[in-house]
Amino acid sequence: MSREKRSTRRRVLGCAALAVATLVFAELAAYAGLWALHGRPTGLGELRQARHDRAETGGEADTDGEAEVVADAGDLAAVLRHGGYEVLQPYLGFVWTPEADLADHRFLSAFEIDRYGFLVDPGDRPADGAPEPVEVGIFGGSVANILHLAGRRTFQRVLGEDPEIAERGVVLRNYALPGYKQPQQLMTLAWLRSLGQGPDVVVNLDGFNEIALPPTENVPYGTHPLYPRTWTPRLEGLPDLESQRAAGEVSYLRQQRREVARSFERPLLGHSAVWNLLWTSRDRRLEAAGGAAEERLAAASGGQGSYVSHGPAYAATDERMYADLVTAWSATSRAMRAISEDAGLSYHHFLQPNQYLAGSKPLSREEQTLYVTPGHAYGEQVIAAYPLLIEAGARLQADGVAFHDLTQLFADEERTVYSDDCCHLNAYGNRLMARAVAEAIRDDVAAAARQ
């Protein structure tokens, strides 16, 4: 080999070695950057999964054959929180508009909004000549709403183990909406009964919204805590130009986070620390901008207004407020039971689980990292008020209400079941909860039949 060729080869090898060294150095530096951002060593697999979830492109495997509608339930609930498809309704506060087009919605395209403002599955209509099915109505907020979407087949299978129910078949009806809290469930049932309607089985899954939403979304505006969520902004803030701008920015930034996550979904590059550092940095900036926009939205919607937007004056210490909220939660459950029994319906009440309740679940690393936020207002409210809900639920049960405390449902579950730092479950968690609720209903019905 000539001297010139050897010299060229050495230069090429030297450049290649320099490139490899630079790449290795960049990867190591990126690992250090990720450590600094997260405050702990972070695996690339964990980041790929987080980005995958953010991009709304997957979730838990669905062993029961359910449609994967809750892979990113937290994002779904967040998007719908600031307006979404909501319109005012004189008895229920708000419902969804039947004029909405769900055809292009990733999660809801298989569903419709009925004339009363609730999601329905067109496939649930009984066939001509078929026996009238047992209707199970799900009442509550977003957790109950998503349970209806994710747990239908689990309900049908478990309740179908009762021969009499199996002969008729089971249909789930959704009467839950994101943000609903008592007395909206009670009002919904009363509204249905006034129309001569109502399911055979009334399932009320609630508790979290009742104690978490009033202190953060009503009381700061001077709105009565039992009014529908963000009632003052609904009536006064939304027409304000600054509120509209802030609400639009919140929606835009959430969409941007999803789009950025999708753009970084690359099978090979997803194993690079540099690539993950670039995405994490961008996602953190968008998250911070979104938080600032939410603060501006809250500030813009917080002006004082008339009685119609605030309701009766209410002032109390936190301790007194939580006691009042739990009393109202218990009283509305008793009222729902009374309406149900008067109409010959079966009533079943469930207290939903939450990750902030100490000892309720051995949190997975993913849950500790992504789905529990120290100092979160909702977490503080759960810590303060969930023990009161549990005590009140025990009294309901002692007084003959078919009440079931689900707060320990995941006490022995080490897999990830939550999907955000609020309260929502992933597909696996929803299947577990659907099974528990259906089994409790089946057992309640069997026990009532023996009496």
Distance CA 370, CA 46 (A): 10
Average pLDDT over residues 43-56: 57
Distance CA 423, CA 321 (A): 21
Task: Examine the domain organization and report whether 99 and 197 are in the same domain.
Answer: yes
Percent of the chain at pLDDT > 70 equals 71
Structure tokens at 382: 């759960």
pLDDT for 184 beyond 50: yes
The CATH number that applies at residue 193 is 3.40.50.1110
Q: How many CB atoms lie within 10 A of CB 123?
A: 9
Answer yes or no: is 291 within a domain.
no
Cβ(66)–Cβ(313) below 8 Å: no
Task: Examine the domain organization and report whether 207 and 111 are in the same domain.
Answer: yes
Task: Examine the domain organization and report whether 98 and 214 are in the same domain.
Answer: yes
Q: What's the pTM?
A: 0.72
Question: DSSP assignment, residue 418?
Answer: B
Task: Examine the domain organization and report whether 221 and 94 are in the same domain.
Answer: yes
Average pLDDT over residues 377-382: 95
Structure tokens at 195: 């129309």
Please give the residue range of the domain that contains residue 156. 77-229+318-450
Task: Examine the domain organization and report whether 143 and 31 are in the same domain.
Answer: no
Number of domains composing the chain:
2
pLDDT for 33 beyond 70: no
Distances (CA, A) of 259 to 255, 265, 283, 354, 404: 6, 10, 10, 29, 40
Higher pLDDT, 205 or 74: 205
Place of tokens 């670039």: 278
Q: State the pLDDT at residue 244.
A: 63
In tens, the pLDDT along 260-310 reads 777 667 666 555 666 666 667 777 787 778 778 777 766 664 444 578 788
Q: State the pLDDT at residue 58.
A: 36
pLDDT for 382 beyond 90: yes
Higher pLDDT, 63 or 408: 408
DSSP string, 107-121: TTTT-EE-TTS-EE-
Answer yes or no: is 28 within a domain.
yes
Answer yes or no: is 40 within a domain.
yes
Percent of the chain at pLDDT > 90 equals 44
In tens, the pLDDT along 299-340 reads 664 444 578 788 899 988 999 999 999 999 999 999 999 999
Task: Examine the domain organization and report whether 99 and 218 are in the same domain.
Answer: yes
